[in-house]
Chains A and B, each alone.
Chain A
């Protein structure tokens, strides 16, 4: 019974934590220009993330060490510096985008320019990290993040053509504007498969003291949670496809995105959109700040746990304190949050090989996983994800130049 409770909590947490600034922005941009056509990218991204989370969760439950710990231990410090630097830079950029998302939500609600909100958001976020525990950060914000279900209600109320949507779940090539199509596709994949998501998940498994007995919880949480979460991203794409695409509205600013729910749901839609953007981005702000601090602490062998008092893991606590304030600075200086989001999603996509390819080695290492090494399904999926990550690395820069507008 306790296990089912944990599964339910895990699934709900994954759903509530799935949407964030990147997935909202890129899904809406994709739907606004290419109708349902890019829905398959979300299926691919969500399935990839589910596999990566299941594997990093399994790694943590069996070995009692995080993915970052094992990267350092099995590949050595020299190699570890590469993913450490790549994930650090990319995640800091995404952290800035998330703070931008919360700031934009507050601007939409109050009319006060987003840049004034950046530092207060960082301070409130820091206070929660300083005073809170892991379950408050993870489950509290994810529970509130269930407000994102509004996108599903909005999509259903717009009566999409389910047949067309179903066909769009299979890959297709664009009939026009190929550069922009692939640019948005790469951004959507970057938003779906952010390394911080599976690094945070892996560290969370240790925070929650997972053991081998949690492997089924891990499998169901990673599978079902991402399935429903990915469904919400598709719902965001569908609402944009039905509200913006017929009117020829492209999304150049966050201000435009809020109209997407005000059309099917009226005044409540606008309020719920603002709440969704604010809560989901704030939740992600906390998770990313923690994920980077976890990575640094695990990489350098510091004491770390969000459940410890800050004085007991001073270097870990100092890390997230500095990071969250640092990330707020560009927004406080007026950097365009949507452009920053798009850039950070493409850079994220390009950074994937350094964390995905080593996983292929670790997941087949009997010394680490004993009998729980990857089977052929997981290995096939991981090889496909690794190849995809290399393609994204090669394509990201040219697409940023050609399709990034």
Chain B
């Protein structure tokens, strides 16, 4: 009886472990992609607002620097979250979009 209870507990622990591991991988990439896309959108809005003279160059420059820092951090981490070629292509697209947005905001602020 004790043995079968132990086996059941071990099996349950295994199932939970596999489920956590399985569920853990995908959201991690999703989270990284969300962060990249959020920063891309932030810089697009900043570029538009700077063009309309609604934000200062000092502030726009800080946003670009913050995005650069987020990009660097994500570039280091995203490799661990990529598990297939499709994942890899999504990651590359998101990284490229943010790099492009940083370049455009830099150009807008004259850097």
* Interface residue ranges, A against B (CB under 8 Å): 107-111, 243, 247-250, 252-253, 255-256, 258-259, 262-263, 266-267, 269-270, 405
Which A residues are in CB contact (< 8 Å) with B37?
248
Q: Are A267 and B54 in contact (CB under 8 A)?
A: yes
List of 7 A-B pairs having minimum Cβ-Cβ separation, nearest first: A266-B54, A111-B58, A250-B38, A247-B41, A255-B66, A262-B54, A249-B41
Q: Which residue of B lies closest to A267 (CB)?
A: B54
Q: Given A263-B49, A266-B54, A267-B54, do A258 and B41 touch, yes or no (CB 8 Å)?
A: no
Q: Which residue of A lies closest to B70 (CB)?
A: A252
Which A residues are in CB contact (< 8 Å) with B62?
107-108, 111, 255
Alpha-carbon separation in the docked complex, A247 to B37 (Å): 9
Q: Given A247-B45, A248-B38, A267-B53, do A258 and B31 touch, yes or no (CB 8 Å)?
A: no
Q: Given A111-B58, A262-B55, A267-B55, do A255 and B35 touch, yes or no (CB 8 Å)?
A: no
Does residue B75 face the partner (Cβ distance < 8 Å to A)?
no
Alpha-carbon separation in the docked complex, A259 to B42 (Å): 8
Alpha-carbon separation in the docked complex, A252 to B35 (Å): 8
* Chain A contact residues, majority secondary structure: helix
Alpha-carbon separation in the docked complex, A76 to B46 (Å): 56
Alpha-carbon separation in the docked complex, A269 to B53 (Å): 12
Closest-CB distance, B106 to chain A (whole angstroms): 15
Which A residues are in CB contact (< 8 Å) with B59?
108, 255, 258, 270
Using a Cβ–Cβ cut-off of 8 Å, how many residues does chain B contribute to the interface with A? Answer: 24
Residues of B28-46 whose CB lies within 8 A of A: 31, 34-35, 37-39, 41-42, 44-46
14 extra interchain contacts, Cβ-Cβ under 8 A, other than A248-B37, A255-B66, A259-B45? A108-B58, A108-B59, A111-B58, A243-B45, A248-B38, A253-B70, A255-B62, A256-B66, A259-B49, A259-B63, A262-B54, A266-B53, A269-B54, A270-B59
Alpha-carbon separation in the docked complex, A56 to B70 (Å): 44
Does residue B86 face the partner (Cβ distance < 8 Å to A)?
no
Alpha-carbon separation in the docked complex, A227 to B32 (Å): 38
Alpha-carbon separation in the docked complex, A108 to B61 (Å): 10
Q: Are A110 and B58 in contact (CB under 8 A)?
A: yes
Does residue B77 face the partner (Cβ distance < 8 Å to A)?
no
Closest-CB distance, B110 to chain A (whole angstroms): 15
9 A-B contacts (beta carbon < 8 Å)? A108-B62, A243-B45, A248-B38, A248-B41, A250-B38, A252-B70, A255-B63, A262-B55, A267-B56
Which A residues are in CB contact (< 8 Å) with B34?
248, 250
Query: Number of contacts between A and B (CB, 8 Å)?
Result: 64
Which A residues are in CB contact (< 8 Å) with B55?
258-259, 262, 267, 270
Q: Are A263 and B45 in contact (CB under 8 A)?
A: yes
Q: Are A256 and B42 in contact (CB under 8 A)?
A: yes
Closest-CB distance, A261 to chain B (whole angstroms): 10
Does residue B19 face the partner (Cβ distance < 8 Å to A)?
no
Q: Given A108-B62, A263-B45, do A250 and B52 touch, yes or no (CB 8 Å)?
A: no
Closest-CB distance, B62 to chain A (whole angstroms): 5
Closest-CB distance, A9 to chain B (whole angstroms): 35
Closest-CB distance, B27 to chain A (whole angstroms): 9
B34, B41, B42, B49 pick with most chain A CB within 10 angstroms: B42
Alpha-carbon separation in the docked complex, A105 to B22 (Å): 42
Alpha-carbon separation in the docked complex, A250 to B32 (Å): 12
Alpha-carbon separation in the docked complex, A108 to B56 (Å): 9
Closest-CB distance, B80 to chain A (whole angstroms): 16
Which B residues are in CB contact (< 8 Å) with A111?
58, 61-62
Closest-CB distance, B81 to chain A (whole angstroms): 14
Alpha-carbon separation in the docked complex, A255 to B64 (Å): 10
Q: Are A249 and B38 in contact (CB under 8 A)?
A: yes
Alpha-carbon separation in the docked complex, A252 to B56 (Å): 21
Which A residues are in CB contact (< 8 Å) with B54?
262-263, 266-267, 269-270
Partner of A266, one of B35, B52, B58: B52
